[in-house]
């Protein structure tokens, strides 16, 4: 079964009031019984006329009423006026010839209500009930006292049909509206799932981009810088060139390990070798000091406490990015890394005496990554810098059970 837009409707989506083969069976069975009744009870001179009229009702149903019943919005156009006219043209003469054929209404009346609506069905049923009664009274076939009683009963039937028909119509309209709301809800849910999948894919791409920037990109930048240094040192200072080649090999090996770990685990790489954050920071500071030939000191204050993996990754990557910026941009003669453990949380500070910059000019990709990592870990990042005054990057991450407020993220 398809809806008006050509989409296939499953069994669970078919409305309970939609007619099907059982209505065809019901209608045909009723009319077959009426044909037999007409043949047995109609006056001999009108017997076959009555049977033919009953058969004509069946023809009207299958030739027009059934098509109208199954068409969308069948009760809201001028075509619905044609069906009552056709039915009256064959039902009224049949009932007039044989009052017993009034029982046809058990099939004709539901057809009118379903196919045309209450506004057309009630007058149609009323005419079928009233006109034959008046005809028999006018022609003397029935007394007026009996006619009055019959008309009173018919009036009650017509009034009930009008009320009940309107009530059923309201139920059907509300059911259609609920069905439409369910359809819209289903589509909205599917759209929400689609958008959620897109957002998840986008978040995964952003996460992978940050990991690549903070690991492989930094390592490759270091390798390039060391390669340039080796090129100039090969003839003037072979010993220093060999040390830089060793650093290149170590950096490349670390990057390869990071890449394999990301591919295998599909998550942020934890501190190298599964060691502590302090040891990982010591390695990256020593490497920067060896690459640039400047003083880089690591200081750890407070009592080291176990940190969640995401906090360790956040602080390590922040230190790596800040030190990479010192390598690429600062032109510093000295850098300091401070890791402070406190009851409220942990703070990492990376400072240098380089050329500085103006944070208001707009953060770069690395600074955005650091801020994102800090927010994701429940903390904040601050950057203090000015041209010629060096730079200080501070990441503060509160403990999960701490009730102390986290510093607001600022960039002065």
Q: Are residues 185 and 286 in the same domain?
A: no
Q: Are residues 396 and 292 in the same domain?
A: yes
The verdict on residue 221 lying in a domain is no
The verdict on residue 325 lying in a domain is yes
Rounded to whole angstroms, the Cα distance separating 113 from 161 reads 9
Structural domain for 393, as ranges = 276-412
The verdict on residue 246 lying in a domain is no
The neighbour count for residue 300, using CB atoms within 10 Å, is: 16
Q: Are residues 21 and 169 in the same domain?
A: yes
| Structure confidence at residue 57 (pLDDT) | 93
Per the CB < 8 A criterion, the answer to whether 318 and 277 are in contact is no
Interstrand relation of 410-411 and 391-398 (parallel, antiparallel or unpaired): unpaired
Angstrom CA distances, 334 to 288, 296, 350, 353, 389, stand at 11, 6, 11, 6, 13
Q: Are residues 280 and 182 in the same domain?
A: no
Interstrand relation of 380-385 and 410-411 (parallel, antiparallel or unpaired): parallel
| Structure confidence at residue 39 (pLDDT) | 93
Domain end position, chosen among 137, 167, 189:
189
Rounded to whole angstroms, the Cα distance separating 412 from 408 reads 12
The two three-digit tokens of residue 277, written as one number:
């954050």
Rounded to whole angstroms, the Cα distance separating 381 from 107 reads 79
The dihedral built from the CA positions of residue 95, 97, 99 and 101, taken in this order, carries a sign that is: negative
Per residue in 79-106, is it b (16+ CB within 10 Å) or e — as a string?
Answer: ebeebbebbbebbbbbbbbbeebbebbe
Rounded to whole angstroms, the Cα distance separating 337 from 352 reads 9
Rounded to whole angstroms, the Cα distance separating 394 from 31 reads 90
- Residue 345's nearest CA partner among 380, 321, 297, 317 is 380
The verdict on residue 178 lying in a domain is yes
The verdict on residue 135 lying in a domain is yes
Token pair 């890791």 in the structure block, residue: 339
Tell me how far the alpha carbon of residue 19 is from its chain's centroid: 33
- What are the pLDDT digits (tens) for 197-233? 777 777 767 766 666 666 666 667 777 777 777 777 7
Q: Are residues 174 and 38 in the same domain?
A: yes
Which residues lie below 8 Å from residue 92, measured CB to CB, with a gap of 6+? 127, 128, 131, 132
Domain end position, chosen among 189, 209, 239:
189
The verdict on residue 1 lying in a domain is no
Q: Are residues 185 and 282 in the same domain?
A: no
Per residue in 32-69, is it b (16+ CB within 10 Å) or e — as a string?
Answer: eebbebbeeebeeebbebbbebbbbbbebbeebbbebb
Interstrand relation of 345-352 and 295-301 (parallel, antiparallel or unpaired): unpaired
Q: What angle do CA 377, 382, 388 make, to 5 degrees?
A: 145
- Residue 75's nearest CA partner among 131, 17, 119, 33 is 119
Q: Are residues 175 and 287 in the same domain?
A: no
Q: Are residues 60 and 176 in the same domain?
A: yes
The two three-digit tokens of residue 271, written as one number:
């501190």
Domain end position, chosen among 189, 209, 233:
189
Q: Are residues 159 and 283 in the same domain?
A: no
Task: Give the chain's residues under pLDDT 50.
Answer: 1-14, 267-269, 273-274, 402-412
- Could you give phi then psi for residue 276, rounded to 5 degrees? -80, 165
The verdict on residue 294 lying in a domain is yes
pTM above 0.85, yes or no: no
| Structure confidence at residue 411 (pLDDT) | 40
| Domains contained in the chain, number | 2
| Structure confidence at residue 48 (pLDDT) | 93
Q: Are residues 405 and 302 in the same domain?
A: yes
Domain of 395, CATH number, reads: 3.30.565.10
The verdict on residue 392 lying in a domain is yes
- Could you give phi then psi for residue 300, rounded to 5 degrees? -115, 125
| Structure confidence at residue 13 (pLDDT) | 45
């Amino acid at each position: 079964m398809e809806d008006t837009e050509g989409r296939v409707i499953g069994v669970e989506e078919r409305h309970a009031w939609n007619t099907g083969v059982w209505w065809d069976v019901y209608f045909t069975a009723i009319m077959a019984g009426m044909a037999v009744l007409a043949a047995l009870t109609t006056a001999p001179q009108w017997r076959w006329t009555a049977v033919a009229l009953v058969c004509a009702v069946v023809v009207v149903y299958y030739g027009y009423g059934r098509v109208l019943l199954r068409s969308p919005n069948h009760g809201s156009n001028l075509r619905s006026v044609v069906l009552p006219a056709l039915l009256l043209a064959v039902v009224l003469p049949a009932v007039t010839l044989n009052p017993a054929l009034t029982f046809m209404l058990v099939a004709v009346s539901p057809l009118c209500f379903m196919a045309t609506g209450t506004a057309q069905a009630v007058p149609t049923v009323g005419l079928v009930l009233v006109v034959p009664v008046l005809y028999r009274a006018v022609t003397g076939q029935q007394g007026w006292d009996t006619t009055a009683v019959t008309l009173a009963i018919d009036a009650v039937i017509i009034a009930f049909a009008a009320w009940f028909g309107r009530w059923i119509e309201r139920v059907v309209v509300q059911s259609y509206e609920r069905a439409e709301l369910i359809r819209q809800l289903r589509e909205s849910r599917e759209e929400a799932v689609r958008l959620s999948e897109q957002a998840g894919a986008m978040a995964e791409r952003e996460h992978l981009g940050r990991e690549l920037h903070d690991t492989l990109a930094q390592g490759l930048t270091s390798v390039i810088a060391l390669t340039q240094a080796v090129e100039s040192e090969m003839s003037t200072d072979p010993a220093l060139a060999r040390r830089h080649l060793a650093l290149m090999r170590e950096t490349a090996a670390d990057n390869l390990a990071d890449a394999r770990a990301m591919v295998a685990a599909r998550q942020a790489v934890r501190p190298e070798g599964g060691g502590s954050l302090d040891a990982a920071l010591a390695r990256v500071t020593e490497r920067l000091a060896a690459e640039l030939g400047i003083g880089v000191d690591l200081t750890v204050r407070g009592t080291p406490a176990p940190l969640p993996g995401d906090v360790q990754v956040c602080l390590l990557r922040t230190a790596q990015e800040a030190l990479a910026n010192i390598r690429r941009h600062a032109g510093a003669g000295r850098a300091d890394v401070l890791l402070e453990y406190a009851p409220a949380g942990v703070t990492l500070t990376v400072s240098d005496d380089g050329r500085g910059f103006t944070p208001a000019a707009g953060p770069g990709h690395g600074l955005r990554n650091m801020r994102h990592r800090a927010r994701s870990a429940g903390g904040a990042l601050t950057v203090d810098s000015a041209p010629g005054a060096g730079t200080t990057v501070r990441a503060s991450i509160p403990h999960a059970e701490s009730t102390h407020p986290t510093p607001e993220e600022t960039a002065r």
